[in-house]
Structure 1
Amino acid sequence: MAESIMAPEQSTPDKQFEQALRPRSLADDEFIGQSRVKTRLKILIEAALGRGEPTDHVLLAGPPGLGKTSLAHIIASETGSSIRISSGPALGRPGDLAALLNSLRAGDVLFIDEIHRLSKVVEEILYPAMEDRQLDLVTGRGSGAAQRTYRIAIEPFTLVGATTRLGLLSAPLRDRFGEIYRLDYYSDPECAAIINRSAGLLEVQIRPEAAEMIATRARGTARVCNRLLRRVRDYCQVKGDGSITTELADDALEMLDIDRQGLDDMDRRILATIVRKYDGGPVGINTIAASLSEDPATIEDYHEPYLLQIGYLARTPRGRQATRRAFEHLGLTAPKRVDDPGQLAFGIDP
């Protein structure tokens, strides 16, 4: 799959760039937006510091690119702790997780990204570690007398899990988290504030109107805000004097093929396929993918969430359906049978 600039997932070139822009605290001028999450998290951290204990285990849920990794780093920073980072796919065997847990020092924060991808046998290693600060080790093969279980004490720690699919987390694991925070998409003003903050850190001059323009196309996602800023900055450096004006920002976004609603070429092709080939739907995801010679998972993970968010696409028991807004965006008149924008956006997946 060719990587889209609008994809909310982190790409390899993004890592160093994002590290420089990462918020360092929960202050409103550092970590912008997510006010409810920040309020609860501040209380959690202050209470734990007052008791001289690690914070409760925290689960961060929400779409990619909203700041889950940044919050994990902030929890470690504001509690004066070190952070250890891993992910569900990287912890493929029980021994991998057991070794990591046994290496933690008192007060460490363990961040596991994509925690929903832990296998059941690996996940079960976490249960006594989270509840009792104990690690169960099984020696020997087979069952019965050939096996022995040893319980080892581990240092007190805070587990911060991140997931884009809360529903895939098992109930036993989910219930062991003391706090569960759901991150929401950012508003346009919040996106503009993120862009202005990042521009300041990059020492790039940007007009307020230009920041607002970029914000409206950033899909409510902090990572996309910063990625678009990076590309617009490059364009303005080559085509102008380096400062970002509204006119140059508009030209840059047009060059990147991102329209005023934040849709890229593939987003528009998906809508056009549903509308023009299948009369607006409903149509199955596999049929859409085959028509576009694209992988169904790519459409579901990269494109569909935003089309649902802005009410251009609906998920119904019979398949995906374009809404009235989608027809209008393509310059077409919607049939009378088409539902109002977004009415079915959270329907049942076929």
Structure 2
Amino acid sequence: MHDEQVTDFEPADETALSALPHSGEHEVETTLRPRKLAEFIGQPRVREQLELVLASARKRGVPPDHVLLSGPPGLGKTSLAMIIAAELDATLRVTSGPALERAGDLAAMLSNLAEGDVLFIDEIHRIARPAEEMLYLAMEDFRVDVVVGKGPGATSIPLEIAPFTLVGATTRSGSLTGPLRDRFGFTGQMEFYHPEELELVVGRAATILDITVDEDAGAEIARRSRGTPRIANRLLRRVRDYAEVRANGEASKEVVRAALEVYDVDELGLDRLDRAVLSALVRSFGGGPVGVSTLAVAVGEEPSTVEEVCEPYLVRAGMLARTPRGRVATATAWEHLGLRPPAGTAAEPSLFD
């Protein structure tokens, strides 16, 4: 299987607990990625469904239905795309939605596909509209219409393409147009991981990276990883750095706690930016409600960073609520900052309950 990587993804946020990929992480992530479906940890429902789709296609000797993988970043959508190609013994072609700005970009890629190839489009909801409309025909009829010339003299030439399987990944399934979503035969919704599953992820990564991590240390890393394997693997590498320099290379629970304190990751998996958002919301705005743009200015960050990096986990942790009037701190947020919540402050359901 050959991978073709596209390098024009948008730069990612570089905070330790961002689920987005960091620059320079591609090589180590490739090392840690599972190669087969049997090696993939977590997502049991999606794994079972995908196993049936692939086994059926292999038995019939045809490419499987197009696959859409949806869910937050860092949960394994790219890994599953690579596994699909490996399970089918097919070549994987990789691109991203933002890279397909024109229909011609997509036509060139589709025309180079061999029969049975797997085309992976990351962030497929960001594909340009002309390319998306071309993709409809390619997914359904395995052909594209190439327009030659301009104006009244323009002609459309149908171009047959080899049968292929499209794997699309999106962090915003609601942003997909209906016609595009309907053309996928299988949709897998990726969920955040349980701490027990992340312990297995940490244990597997520690073995591959040759890091000595005891059971309690692995559980501590998993508990602070925000339900996301990418973050768990990143924190494991930071613990390794600390252990090699200050703890003779062995990562105990105490070493993990000391290491993550250095990297500003607290016992609930909040980092400096998370705590800054909560602190501004509580101390500067009395717990809210306050708009996300105003909150971002208060912490010196872009609104998109606050909204996409911090808020999802703070909401899941029951510390922040989104209301029509703005963001509101819950009683859990006040208590986490060591403050007494005002009377009447609601407590939201938390993933720690």
Q: TM-score scaled by structure 2?
A: 0.94
Moved over 2 A (4+): none
Q: How big is the shift at 1:332?
A: 1.2
User: Gapped runs of 5+ residues in structure 1?
Assistant: 344-350
Q: 1:210 aligns with which of 210, 217, 222?
A: 217
Are residues 1:10 and 2:21 paired? Answer: yes
The CA distance in 2 between the partners of 1:128 and 1:3, in whole Å, is 38
Query: Which residue in the other structure is 2:200 paired with?
Result: 193
Q: 1:50 aligns with which of 44, 47, 59?
A: 59
Query: Which residue in the other structure is 1:75 paired with?
Result: 84
Query: Which residue in the other structure is 2:333 paired with?
Result: 326
The CA distance in 2 between the partners of 1:233 and 1:107, in whole Å, is 41
Q: How big is the shift at 1:342?
A: 3.8
Deviates more, 1:45-54 or 1:240-249: 240-249
Counterparts in 2 of 1:2 and 1:46: CA distance versus 1, 3 Å: closer
Query: Which residue in the other structure is 2:269 paired with?
Result: 262
Q: How big is the shift at 1:287?
A: 0.8
- Is this contact kept in 1: 2:318–2:347, CA < 8 A? no
- Is this contact kept in 1: 2:95–2:122, CA < 8 A? yes
Are residues 1:109 and 2:118 paired? Answer: yes
The CA distance in 1 between the partners of 2:228 and 2:74, in whole Å, is 6
Kindly provide the CA deviation profile for residues 257-283 of structure 1, in whole angstroms up to 9, marking residues without a partner as x: 110000001100100111111111111
The CA distance in 1 between the partners of 2:59 and 2:14, in whole Å, is 46
The residue correspondences of 1:300-315 to structure 2 (distance < 5 A) are 300-315=307-322
Q: How big is the shift at 1:230?
A: 0.6
The CA distance in 1 between the partners of 2:321 and 2:284, in whole Å, is 17
- Is this contact kept in 1: 2:77–2:169, CA < 8 A? yes
SS at match of 1:270: helix
Query: Which residue in the other structure is 1:25 paired with?
Result: 36
Letter in 1 for 2:114: R
Quick one: percent identity of the two aligned structures?
A: 50
SS at match of 1:211: helix
Q: 2:70 aligns with which of 40, 56, 61?
A: 61
Q: How big is the shift at 1:58?
A: 0.3
User: Gapped runs of 5+ residues in structure 2?
Assistant: 1-11
The residue correspondences of 1:196-345 to structure 2 (distance < 5 A) are 196-342=203-349
- Is this contact kept in 2: 1:314–1:342, CA < 8 A? no
Kindly provide the CA deviation profile for residues 19-61 of structure 1, in whole angstroms up to 9, marking residues without a partner as x: 000011111xx21110000000000000000000011000000
Query: Which residue in the other structure is 2:167 paired with?
Result: 160
Q: How big is the shift at 1:2?
A: 6.8
The CA distance in 1 between the partners of 2:348 and 2:315, in whole Å, is 10
Deviates more, 1:290-299 or 1:313-322: 290-299
Q: 1:95 aligns with which of 98, 104, 108?
A: 104
SS at match of 1:19: helix
Query: Which residue in the other structure is 2:93 paired with?
Result: 84
Counterparts in 2 of 1:2 and 1:172: CA distance versus 1, 3 Å: closer
- Is this contact kept in 2: 1:60–1:68, CA < 8 A? yes
Q: How big is the shift at 1:78?
A: 0.3
Kindly provide the CA deviation profile for residues 208-262 of structure 1, in whole angstroms up to 9, marking residues without a partner as x: 0000001111000010000000110111011122121111111100110110000
Q: How big is the shift at 1:302?
A: 1.1
SS at match of 1:92: coil
- Is this contact kept in 1: 2:13–2:305, CA < 8 A? no
The CA distance in 2 between the partners of 1:121 and 1:191, in whole Å, is 40
Q: How big is the shift at 1:129?
A: 0.4
Q: How big is the shift at 1:341?
A: 1.6
Kindly provide the CA deviation profile for residues 61-95 of structure 1, in whole angstroms up to 9, marking residues without a partner as x: 00000000000000000011010000011111111
- Is this contact kept in 1: 2:67–2:166, CA < 8 A? yes
SS at match of 1:236: helix
- Is this contact kept in 2: 1:323–1:342, CA < 8 A? no
Letter in 1 for 2:21: Q
Q: 1:118 aligns with which of 112, 127, 130?
A: 127
SS at match of 2:156: strand
The CA RMSD measured in Å over matched residues stands at: 1.1
The CA distance in 2 between the partners of 1:139 and 1:282, in whole Å, is 55
Are residues 1:132 and 2:160 paired? Answer: no
